[in-house]
Chain A
Amino acid sequence: AQTVTQSQPEMSVQEAETVTLSCTYDTSESDYYLFWYKQPPSRQMILVIRQEAYKQQNATENRFSVNFQKAAKSFSLKISDSQLGDAAMYFCAYRDNAGNMLTFGGGTRLMVKP
């Protein structure tokens, strides 16, 4: 079974600064997708960014970017110019191509200081 690990239960960043959230995963598959989801206090899950495993180029969405290291099975999220609205739980997720299972990490709570 695939596992997703987020080793940082909590992170803190000053407003306008940059922060990186870590995620590692374990899989024997070669074709899969990785995602970062944001869960604000409303508990609505919001997709932040996704990465296709077959693409070498790191995904970018405005202030959010990833560092995808396939050999190391690492998928970190970088948030630039942090804003107060970025404060939330962030979940890393893995989806395989074979069974369509979607597996989540334990989450990282991000706090943004004004």
Chain B
Amino acid sequence: DGGITQSPKYLFRKEGQNVTLSCEQNLNHDAMYWYRQDPGQGLRLIYYSQIVNDFQKGDIAEGYSVSREKKESFPLTVTSAQKNPTAFYLCASSTWMERLSGTEAFFGQGTRLTVV
């Protein structure tokens, strides 16, 4: 079955450590996204990538980094520079916008990151 997989589901990090969240998709989608969701809040865009080896900052990119070396993978690193990293992180993917088949984004199950 095609889909988008995030791992791990739960992640604990000590203060001052970097941590990487995995996101893999086998939907052959070009675009991939990372969102942060705080309790009772909406989704805020961290980074997005439209094509391999290219990505753009979203609204809250500070303290995060990404790479897009393969079409299927878009890992997110939460660095020690992120002052308040405890949150729920969602990865999504979608095809390019096309007039006849413009499509929604498909989401992973999310990763809950807790700083201890």
A interface residue numbers (CB < 8 A to B): 1, 6, 31, 33, 35, 37, 43-45, 47, 50, 52, 54, 91, 93, 95-97, 99-107, 109
Q: Quick check: is B113 within 8 A (CB to CB) of the other chain?
A: no
Query: Contact at A43–B110, with CB atoms within 8 Å?
Result: yes
Tell me whether B73 is interfacial, beta carbon within 8 Å. no
Cβ B102 vs Cβ A52 within 8 A = yes
> Lowest 4 A-B CB distances belong to which pairs?
A45-B107, A106-B42, A104-B43, A47-B104
Chain B: residues with CB nearer than 8 A to chain A?
A: 31, 33, 35, 37, 40-45, 48, 50, 56, 58-59, 88, 90, 92, 94, 96-97, 99, 102, 104-105, 107, 109-110
Q: Which of chain B's residues has its CB closest to A33's CB? A: B102
In the assembled complex, the CB of B41 is this many whole angstroms from the nearest CB of chain A, namely 7
CB-based contact B104/A104 at 8 Å: no
Seed contacts A50-B102, A100-B97; 5 additional CB < 8 Å A-B pairs: A33-B97, A95-B94, A99-B50, A102-B45, A106-B42
Known interface pairs A43-B110, A50-B104, A95-B97; A102-B42 also in contact (CB < 8 Å): no
Q: How far is the CA of A69 from the CA of B48 in the complex (A)?
A: 29
> Chain A residues near B90 (CB, 8 Å)?
45
